[in-house]
Amino acid sequence: MGSSVTPPPAWRTGARHLSAAAALLFTLTLLSACGGGSATPGGGNTPGGDNQAPSVTLTSPARLASGLTGPLTVSAAASDNIAVASIEIQVDGQPVGNTGSGASHTVTVDTAAYTPGQHIVRARARDAAGGVSGWGSATVSFAGNRTEPAGFARSDLVTGLGNATAFAQAPDGRYFVATQTGAVRIVTAAGALLPTPFLTLSVDASGERGLIGVALHPGFANNGFVYLYYTTAEGGTHNRISRFTANPANPDIVSVGSEVRIADLPALTGATNHNGGALHFGRLDGKLYVGVGDNAVASRAPDPTQVFGKVLRFNEDGSIPGDNPFCTTAGSQPCAVWALGLRNPYTLAEQPGSGRLHINDVGQNSWEEVNLGARAANYGWPASEGPTSTPGVVAPLFSYPHSIDPAGPGGFVSGCAVIGGAFYPADGNFAAPYRGNYFFTDLCSGVVTRLDLANNNAAYAFGRVAGSPVGLLVGLDGALLVLTRTTIVRFAATP
């Protein structure tokens, strides 16, 4: 044979019987030693020339089963041209139970350990040669009354906020909470709401107008710069982005007279909705990204000469970067357009480290969208909304309808207005399967959904909140924080 092969210990000690798996393994080893091929999993050849991966079928639960409660039996069956070595079963991308050996496997899942809503059950098989099947999966819905999954605790960090719209956390742990009526409230890291607002602006708070966006400068610890997006009646009703500076002697209040106007957007129509409001500083380029709604004039969204229905990109001082994609008249405000075809991009989120940007676009009557931000992208509004294959239009990463359609792209996820978003960081204290995931919620449903970017953007129910959520972020302590109109809700991993 050209090499020496030592038989299994059971043979060498004179045992009369050998398990089928051990016999198969020894036979494949002999074939490999005789030149039967590489034993590298996934390689062009496998021991004995086994190039055929196994197949697997999830036999229980049924696809699109809903209202599942109590102990749930999850079963899978597999086949292979030689032999199945193991079957693994997962719920929401996490293994459950032990890995089974042989061609069938069953585990029991405690549905009471999960937040009610959408979950994905799946199984895959391996053969003795290292071949791996694809996943056999079923999208299902659990019932129950949990508000957070097992291994997490949900609590209110602070209550008593009035008409909150957005929030940001400072490096010292304080939270700056924008309220629609014009006040910025300070909440300490420990959850105390300070009685004196950081500032109070005169705003038009009708409909969806008002103080609707807040961001802190990346150098806030040194310069105290706070950026706000608000609706002013000064000079005709319009939205304005301004910079304010915290008082060095008392950083819980603004320095009087410190407002610097970054951008005054064009006059609004009589419609009081679709103002956008997202403010975010890019971690990699340091630019200020601004989500601006179409102000209920849909035809503005695809027009690069209009700033409505767009993501805008400014330098921190309000000047416009020279590398923005749509500039035709230097110095004009439309040169700030970075992406277009949006209806109401109320929230943005960026993944730490990668610079990946998600744009959460509130839809009209049918669909809500989570979009991957990209320079010069066209997201299709008003020609398309939700899933699309329209040429030249960037389709959503994930979209869900206003009415549950389990067989559709959103599965059991539904709502009325997408609210984002937070990427959970790779160094956070949540368990490994949660790291790198994207979390979002919805103004109407209150379900906090986890988007698993590593598993084809699969969506799982993570938590629930009441009181109309309007924002999310990951706190400095690693907790996931959800801002509602009155409360900051905290989801923290338990030891």
Q: What is the pLDDT of residues 356-403, one digit of tens each?
A: 999 999 999 999 999 999 999 999 999 999 999 999 999 999 999 999
How is residue 378 annotated by DSSP? B
Within the chain, how many helices (H) and strands (E) appear? 3, 33
Which pLDDT does position 352 carry in this prediction?
95
Contact status, residue 428 vs residue 474, Cβ threshold 8 Å? yes
Peptide bond into 382 cis (omega under 30): yes
DSSP string, 442-456: ETTT-EEEEEEGGGT
Residue 5 CA: distances (Å) to CA of 8, 17, 28, 354? 9, 19, 11, 49
Higher pLDDT, residue 237 or 17: 237
Distance of CA 50 to the CA centre of its chain: 40
What type of residue sits at position 171?
P
Segment 261-281 shows an average pLDDT of 98
Q: What is the pLDDT of residues 8-41, one digit of tens each?
A: 333 333 333 334 444 433 443 433 434 333 333 3
pTM assigned to the model: 0.90
Going from the C-alpha of 182 to that of each of 164, 205, 220, 224, the distances in angstroms are 10, 8, 21, 19
Coil, strand or helix at 11: helix
pLDDT over 90 for what percent of the chain? 89
Token digits of residue 358:
């998600």
Q: For residues 245-268, give the mean pLDDT.
A: 98
Please state, in angstroms and rounded to a whole number, the distance separating the CA atoms of residues 152 and 471: 20
Residue 433 to residues 95, 189, 413: CA-CA distances in angstroms?
10, 27, 20
Pairwise CA distance, residues 319 & 316, whole Å: 7
C-alpha of 204 from chain center: 32
Residue type at 234 in one-letter notation = E
The single-letter DSSP state of residue 358 is E
Contact 76, 122 (CB under 8 A): no
For 284-300, letters b (16+ CB in 10 Å) and e give eeebbbbbbbbbbbbeb
Rounded Cα–Cα distance for residues 433 and 410 (Å): 21
For 33, the enclosing helix (H) or strand (E) is helix 20-33
142 neighbors 192 (Cβ within 8 angstroms): no
Instruction: Give the C-alpha separation, 259 to 276, whole Å.
Output: 21
Please report the pLDDT score of residue 13 as a whole number: 34
The reported pLDDT for the residue numbered 49 is 66
